[in-house]
Amino acid sequence: MKLTLWTYEGPPHVGAMRVATGMKGMHYVLHAPQGDTYADLLFTMIERRNHRPPVTFTTFQARDLGGDTANLFKDSARDAYDRFQPQAMIVGASCTAELIQDDPGGLAEALGLPIPVIPLDLPSYQRKENFGADETFYQIVKALAQPMPRTEAITCNLLGATALGFRHRDDVTEVTRLLSLMGISVNVAAPMGATPDDIARMGQAHFNVLLYPETGEAAARHLERACGQPYTKIVPIGVGATRDFLHEVSALTGLSAKVDESGLRLPWWSASVDSTYLTGKRVYIFGDATHVTTAARIAATEIGFEVVGMGCFNREFARPLRAAAKAYGVEPLITDDYLEVEAEIARLQPELILGTQMERHIGKRLGIPCAVISAPVHVQDFPARYSPQMGFEGANVIFDSWIHPLVMGLEEHLLTMFREDFEFHDEAGASHHGGKAVPRQEEELPTYVVPAGQDLSAPLDRYAAMIPDIPIITPSGEVVWLPDAERELKKIPFFVRGKAKRNTERYATDRGLFEISVDTLYEAKAHYAR
Amino acid sequence: MSLDLPSDGCRSTPVLKERGQREVFCGLTGIIWLHRKMQDAFFLVVGSRTCAHLLQSAAGVMIFAEPRFGTAILEEKDLAGLADANAELDREVGRLLARRPDIRQLFLVGSCPSEVIKLDLARAAERLNQQHAPHVRVYNYSGSGIETTFTQGEDACLAAMVPTLAPTAARDLLIVGAMPDVVEDQCLALLSAMGIGPIRVLPAHRAGELPHVGENTVFALVQPFLGDTHAALIRRGARHIPAPFPFGEEGSTAWLRAIADEFGVPRDLFESVIAAPRARAQKAIAAQAAELRGKSVFFFPDSQLEIPLARFLVRECGMTAIEVGTPYLHEGLVGPDLDLLPKGPVISEGQDVEKQLDRVRAASPDLTVCGLGLANPLEAEGFATKWAIELVFTPVHFYEQAGDLAGLFSRPLRRKAILRKEAAE
């Protein structure tokens, strides 16, 4: 038994729902109690889907348990077939139905439906959402895809995109576009967008592109074995990774990896002098292993941040993540307990978090800006505009979305130079975030005249709202901040104060000091100067 | 509005009872508002990852102050031996209470998996009570989907508290049902102004403020889904004051009048207390009702608020009800509302969602009240919808909120009209 407040992943049957909902012509009959239908709203509300997920829940109740839940399942499956006429069906159990052991696979088979019925065995008490999606897609591919003659032109399949995935919709479009630059067209993109009939013709492709190892790797391995299709190992997120990916595809196909890069802006945006201030900014990265690993490479080599910590919530991918962490000389954190992640971030005091919606909340509490790079998703992660993560346009999108939460370069200098200014104080926050300027409470100036034209009705920006939570001095019990030093610390702009505090305390501890004076603060600053 | 009964109400209307796929939340969802209402309580769900995921998703936005609810997720080894599961539960509760000394009430909440493996949470609560008394009181109830639908979770929670309430011989008025604080204050102010008191409420904000109950207690419900709590209070000898539920001006007046009559409040005092807020409510409803009048409404089952709300929309806003679906129809509680609802709509209990969708498409109502899983798909088909969950998460009871309540229904129609105009240009 493990006490959990918030979770990074849902149960495995939600992963199966992500596969079914991404597909067309597929139906999922799920043996589950009433209440499990909440999962529909993930798709209809968070992703704003305009159709119900193609899922029939048996919604058994307590009174059914004494009776015949098996017949309830059979009736539901038969009704679902009659009503929706799918090309194929997947059947399985949620956590509760797993306990009553009705064997949905066997029951469905006994119905003798005239379509392929694929049983799923997803152990709810051991595994989680990503496993559920990966396993479901694998079972579908295993049941439906056959070796077949290759297409005349070079084609590939795109594997792993699902409903409710982080930017999957746009990544599929972008990678399709990227491959077309090499002269390769897409045979089938699956599961998202594919029908069972499409799955059946996946064997025609010359190779597979594994977009998301978390949800597509088992299928990729199967197709390699069963249909002799090699698959790509590099996920094209970031400029370097996209170029490497093109070379990998070139090696598989013999086509040239040289493509038109005129739409790629990240390298120049990063090289232009305005971005100098990004140099060595300390970032912490957490999410699914694939997005974290690719983000670390972009952060370290394409934007010039310093990766101070990284981790993932999906234990299945701990090994590649550990290897990546080693390259940046950081200790990886593999956990699905967000309290551990929060403690790690609080300890490291990064200047930017690249994380999930959970880390965005952690950042809010700790006063650290955050850009979202990975699932679990939130309604904000389904923008109306085109915003892929993969390919060259993905790199452009990433530059913008990571830089936006930070205070801008010149503004950072002004805040440092004029930190005594009543408008440049901490609570003012970053000027481009749209919050209204909040005047500092001046003891000697209790009233403040709102400048003409300033709209006070504008809603407070989330950054402005989080400022009061910034911990300024938390006595650690080991070192004591003298009042002068504490006052001096408060003069340091909020976006570097956490780092200054941490460095000073470490400096003091390393030297066996029990008190921190103004001198200690500046000695530490000189010591850690970069 | 007149409180006269329509010549023919819906109480005698035959109920369409359906069994099929139910598109509803389970009772665990109630934790989302209950843990905010009871400020020294922690809700520990003993369940699966699905339960944790539901609570996180149903909250819509994650409430990221460290929440006073959590899920003890059952793992493979807990299923193998129940003795171990009990030991694990005791350990997790011990850790939790050590970390949160502010917690004075702990609810062990049963889920579908804990019910199916027959983990006896009543025994566990007893055992934990002995360990942690007097600092913490441990209760248990089931919020499982196999036993409870959405708001029935609150009912199960309150019903679990009733047997432990201290006895009293006083003639107290007990108001039952969780309301937002602002609404509760309005309710108590109105009743106090009529000279009624002492008044106690269940649930209370803190363990120390829990009401007492006995044979002289009279109670009124502010929510129509509290059937088990109603029965538990009757078992303690308390007496129920039946009334229409306090939604809209008419419902609020009828509800207050039933209590005022019970306490012998003079009619002129009653009228003088309600006159101003009642007039404000009428005015506020009129503004919204202009957009609702003559429009039709179709309710999918969700919170059990459907029958009182249909009564409000039909009688005070001039709408026509086509179907009023409710997950569970407790005639003893919603009878007075059924009496007031003019005959006409189909009254349905339970659900077969596919058949109900067929009916809504055939009826083509102007407004469909439904859950979050159905709202966007129906909008995409051209139906204007109102998410039912907002009716539970928004202050909607009593006079000052009556206009807001009507506004919740008129806004989707107004929005549709605005967007249609834009599309036409």
Looking at residue A471, its pLDDT comes to: 32
DSSP secondary structure string for all residues of B202-244 = ES-SSGGGPPPB-TT-EEEESSTT-HHHHHHHHHTT-EE----
Asked whether residue A107 falls in the same domain as residue A220, the answer is no
Does residue A424 form part of some domain?
no
- Closest Cβ–Cβ partner in B20, B53, B374 for A10: B53
Does residue A455 form part of some domain?
no
Residue A181 burial class via C-beta count within 10 angstroms: exposed 0-12, middle 13-18, buried 19 and up: middle
Instruction: Check if A48 contacts B (Cβ < 8 Å).
Output: yes
CA distance B260 to B267: 9
- Three-point CA angle A293, A298, A299, nearest 5°: 95
Instruction: Provide, as residue numbers in chain B, all residues whose Cβ is less than 8 Å from the Cβ of A9.
Output: 49
Instruction: Check if B354 contacts A (Cβ < 8 Å).
Output: yes
Q: State the smallest CA–CA distance between residue B224 and chain A in angstroms.
A: 20
Last-in-domain residue among A363, A382, A414: A414
CB contact under 8 A, B146 and A361: no
CATH number, domain of A108, equals 3.40.50.1980
pLDDT tens digit string along B344-363? 999 999 999 999 999 999 99
Buried b (16+ CB within 10 A) or exposed e, A444-455: eeeeeeeeeeee
- φ/ψ of residue B319, rounded to 5: -90, 165
CA distance A361 to A377: 13
- Characterize the bridge pairing of strands A231-232 and B296-299: unpaired
Asked whether residue A271 falls in the same domain as residue A408, the answer is yes
pLDDT tens digit string along A383-431? 999 999 999 999 999 999 999 988 766 666 666 666 555 555 555 555 5
Name the least confident of A15-19, A70-74, A97-101, A428-432: A428-432
Instruction: Check if B352 contacts A (Cβ < 8 Å).
Output: no
Find the catalytic residue in A274, A400, A421, A484: A274
Asked whether residue A271 falls in the same domain as residue A235, the answer is no
Helix%, strand%, coil% for chain B, nearest 5: 50, 20, 30
CA distance B231 to B407: 34
pLDDT band at A496 (very low <50, low <70, confident <90, very high): confident
- Closest Cβ–Cβ partner in B23, B58, B62 for A361: B62
pLDDT tens digit string along A241-273? 999 999 999 999 999 999 999 999 999 999 999
CB contact under 8 A, B112 and A39: no
Write out residues 218-237 of B within 8 Å (CB-CB) of A. none
The H or E element that residue A188 is part of is strand A185-191
Closest CA in chain B for residue A61: B146
pLDDT in tens, chain B (425 residues): 456 677 789 999 999 999 999 999 999 999 989 988 999 999 999 999 999 999 988 765 545 556 789 999 998 888 877 767 889 899 999 988 988 889 999 999 999 999 999 999 999 999 999 999 899 999 999 999 999 999 999 999 999 999 999 999 999 999 999 999 999 999 999 999 999 999 999 999 999 999 999 999 999 999 999 999 999 999 999 999 999 999 999 999 999 999 999 999 999 999 999 999 999 999 999 999 999 999 999 999 999 999 999 999 999 999 999 999 999 999 999 999 999 999 999 999 999 999 999 999 999 999 999 998 999 999 999 999 999 888 988 899 999 999 999 999 999 999 999 998 766 65
CB contact under 8 A, B21 and A57: yes
Looking at residue A411, its pLDDT comes to: 67
- Characterize the bridge pairing of strands B69-73 and A2-4: antiparallel
Distance of CA A115 to the CA centre of its chain: 36
Looking at residue A520, its pLDDT comes to: 87
Asked whether residue A152 falls in the same domain as residue A247, the answer is yes
- Counting the structural domains of chain A, the total is 4
Residue B173 amino acid letter: L
Looking at residue A501, its pLDDT comes to: 84
Provide the ipTM.
0.93
pLDDT band at A437 (very low <50, low <70, confident <90, very high): low
Q: Which domain holds residue A375?
A: 265-414
pLDDT(A162) > 70: yes
Write out residues 106-145 of A within 8 Å (CB-CB) of B. 123-126, 128
CA distance B274 to A440: 45
- Closest Cβ–Cβ partner in B70, B91, B145 for A35: B145
Does residue A3 form part of some domain?
no
Instruction: Check if A65 contacts B (Cβ < 8 Å).
Output: yes
pLDDT(A446) > 80: no
Is A82 labeled as catalytic in the residue annotation?
no
Inter-axis angle of helices A391-403 and A239-253, nearest 10: 170
Give percent above pLDDT 90 in chain A: 69
Token match 């407040």: residue?
A5
Looking at residue A463, its pLDDT comes to: 26
Write out residues 17-56 of B within 8 Å (CB-CB) of A. 20-29, 44, 46, 48-50, 52-54, 56
Closest CA in chain A for residue B42: A5
Asked whether residue A49 falls in the same domain as residue A112, the answer is yes
Instruction: Check if A83 contacts B (Cβ < 8 Å).
Output: yes
Does residue A419 form part of some domain?
no
The number of residues in chain A equals 530
Between A122 and B392, the higher pLDDT residue: A122
pLDDT mean over A91-120: 95
Specify the CATH number of the domain B15-22+287-424: 3.40.50.1980
Rg (CA), chain B: 22
Looking at residue A455, its pLDDT comes to: 36
Does residue A4 form part of some domain?
no
Count CA within 13 A, CB hemisphere, residue B358: 5
- The answer to whether B114 and B74 are in contact (CB under 8 A) is yes
Instruction: Check if A62 contacts B (Cβ < 8 Å).
Output: yes
pLDDT tens digit string along A329-384? 999 999 999 889 999 999 999 999 999 999 998 998 888 999 999 999 888 899 99
Instruction: Check if B146 contacts A (Cβ < 8 Å).
Output: yes
Cβ-based contacts under 8 A for chains A and B: 185
Asked whether residue A410 falls in the same domain as residue A273, the answer is yes
Neighbouring C-beta atoms of residue A114, cutoff 10 Å: 7
CA distance A69 to B146: 12
Looking at residue A504, its pLDDT comes to: 87
Looking at residue A407, its pLDDT comes to: 73
Q: State the smallest CA–CA distance between residue B212 and chain A in angstroms.
A: 33
Neighbouring C-beta atoms of residue B17, cutoff 10 Å: 10
Looking at residue A417, its pLDDT comes to: 63
CB contact under 8 A, A125 and B354: no
Does A36 show up as a binding residue in the annotation?
Answer: yes
Instruction: Check if B8 contacts A (Cβ < 8 Å).
Output: no
pLDDT band at A500 (very low <50, low <70, confident <90, very high): confident
Looking at residue A431, its pLDDT comes to: 56
pLDDT tens digit string along B211-246? 999 999 999 999 999 999 999 999 999 999 999 999
Paired residues of B47 in beta bridges: B73
Q: State the smallest CA–CA distance between residue B370 and chain A in angstroms.
A: 12
Instruction: Check if B70 contacts A (Cβ < 8 Å).
Output: yes
- With H, G, I as helix, E, B as strand and everything else as coil, classify residue A222: helix
Looking at residue A466, its pLDDT comes to: 27
- The answer to whether B282 and B250 are in contact (CB under 8 A) is no
CB contact under 8 A, A79 and B354: yes
Neighbouring C-beta atoms of residue A378, cutoff 10 Å: 17
Q: State the smallest CA–CA distance between residue B379 and chain A in angstroms.
A: 8
Count CA within 13 A, CB hemisphere, residue A358: 26
pLDDT(A454) > 80: no
- With H, G, I as helix, E, B as strand and everything else as coil, classify residue A323: helix
Looking at residue A202, its pLDDT comes to: 98
Last-in-domain residue among A389, A414, A439: A414
Instruction: Provide, as residue numbers in chain A, all residues whose Cβ is less than 8 Å from the Cβ of B21.
Output: 37, 56-59, 76
Structural tokens at position B156: 């199960």
Mutation target vs A (from B29, B42, B50; most A CBs, 10 A cutoff): B50
* H helices, E strands: number in chain A: 22, 16
Residue B369 amino acid letter: V
Looking at residue A425, its pLDDT comes to: 56
DSSP secondary structure string for all residues of B57-111 = HHTSS---SPPSEEEEE--HHHHH-HHHHHHHHHHHHHHHHHH-TT--EEEEEE-
Domain residue ranges of chain B, discontinuous segments joined by +: 15-22+287-424, 27-148, 173-270
CB contact under 8 A, B57 and A33: no
Asked whether residue A274 falls in the same domain as residue A245, the answer is no
Asked whether residue A208 falls in the same domain as residue A280, the answer is no
Asked whether residue A245 falls in the same domain as residue A279, the answer is no
Does residue A447 form part of some domain?
no
CA distance B204 to B201: 6
Looking at residue A461, its pLDDT comes to: 29
CB contact under 8 A, A35 and B95: no
- Of residues A131, A148, A130, the one with CA closest to residue A197: A148
Q: State the smallest CA–CA distance between residue B269 and chain A in angstroms.
A: 42
CA distance A401 to A378: 16
Report the phi/psi class of residue B383: left, alpha or beta, with left for phi > 0 and alpha for psi in -120 to 50: beta
Neighbouring C-beta atoms of residue B318, cutoff 10 Å: 13
Looking at residue A66, its pLDDT comes to: 76
Last-in-domain residue among A105, A130, A155: A130
Q: State the smallest CA–CA distance between residue B327 and chain A in angstroms.
A: 11
- Closest Cβ–Cβ partner in B48, B67, B117 for A11: B48
Instruction: Provide, as residue numbers in chain B, all residues whose Cβ is less than 8 Å from the Cβ of A163.
Output: none
pLDDT(A56) > 80: yes
Instruction: Provide, as residue numbers in chain A, all residues whose Cβ is less than 8 Å from the Cβ of B71.
Output: 3-5
Between B372 and A439, the higher pLDDT residue: B372
Structural tokens at position A324: 């990546």
Looking at residue B60, its pLDDT comes to: 57
Token match 């983990």: residue?
B119
CA distance A400 to A405: 9
Asked whether residue A100 falls in the same domain as residue A158, the answer is no
Structural tokens at position A45: 């509300």
Write out residues 93-132 of B within 8 Å (CB-CB) of A. 95-96, 112-113, 115-117
- The answer to whether B162 and B236 are in contact (CB under 8 A) is yes
CB contact under 8 A, B54 and A35: yes
- Closest Cβ–Cβ partner in A7, A58, A62 for B53: A7
Q: State the smallest CA–CA distance between residue B282 and chain A in angstroms.
A: 30
Contacts of A283 (CB under 8 A, 6+ apart): A299, A305, A306, A307, A308, A350, A351, A352, A353, A354
pLDDT mean over A33-38: 93
Specify the CATH number of the domain B173-270: 3.40.50.1980
- The answer to whether A373 and A312 are in contact (CB under 8 A) is no
Looking at residue A432, its pLDDT comes to: 56
Name the strands in the sheet holding A155-161, side by side, starting at the edge strand that comes first in the sequence: A185-191, A155-161, A207-210, A231-232
Does A278 show up as a binding residue in the annotation?
Answer: no
Does A434 show up as a binding residue in the annotation?
Answer: no
- The answer to whether A31 and B112 are in contact (CB under 8 A) is no
Does residue A437 form part of some domain?
no
Asked whether residue A219 falls in the same domain as residue A338, the answer is no
Specify the CATH number of the domain B27-148: 3.40.50.1980
